[in-house]
Amino acid sequence: MVQKRTNKGYHPSSGVVKHVDAVLKLLSAVSGNPNFELIIPEVEEGGLSTMDAMIARFEQRAEARGERKANDSSAAEMIKDGLPVSKIQKYTKLTVERLEEIAKSLNTTLVM
């Protein structure tokens, strides 16, 4: 927190964190971002017990969530435009089940 306040950036250390669960819960509470807690099992099981590794894993998950949201948004637009499922899958790599969920949320049906 001191680094962020004084340097306007953060450079995680490579030292081992002894209380991974507590640190990630603290980061979640302080930042207001519950996603820190979501990586606790991965960090504990995967031996990612340095701040450097934990932050890298957090960022990977955030990036994946961003890509997933973008794919869902693109698929929704394609469904609205009446594109066939095969074409939507080609561009978004989403499953038919996920496309059906999106279509349902839009109160429409898929074009097979």
In the chain, the percentage of residues whose pLDDT exceeds 70 is 99
Is 94 within the bounds of a domain? yes
The pLDDT value given to residue 31: 87
Beta-carbon contacts of residue 98 (< 8 Å; ≥ 6 apart): 72, 75
In a domain? residue 12? yes
User: Is residue 100 a contact partner of residue 110, using CB atoms and an 8 Å limit?
Assistant: yes
Number of domains in the chain: 1
Please say whether the beta carbons of 94 and 75 come within 8 A. yes
Q: What is the pTM of this model?
A: 0.62
Whether 69 is covered by a domain: the verdict is yes
End-to-end CA separation in angstroms for the chain: 52
Whether the Cβ atoms of residue 17 and residue 36 lie closer than 8 Å to each other: no
Look at residue 80 and tell me if it is in a domain.
Answer: yes
Burial class (CB in 10 A: 0-12, 13-18, 19+), 98: middle
pLDDT in tens, 72-84: 999 999 999 999 9
Distance CA 48, CA 56 (A): 9
pLDDT band at 21 (very low <50, low <70, confident <90, very high): very high
The answer to the question of residue 110 being in a domain is no
Asked if the structure places residue 33 within a domain, the reply is yes
Q: What is the C-alpha to C-alpha distance for residues 25 and 34, in angstroms, rounded to an integer? A: 8
pLDDT digits (tens, 9 = 90+) for 82-97: 999 999 999 999 999 9
pLDDT at 42: 87
> Which residues form the domain of 6?
2-105
Checking if the pLDDT of 103 tops 80, the result is: yes
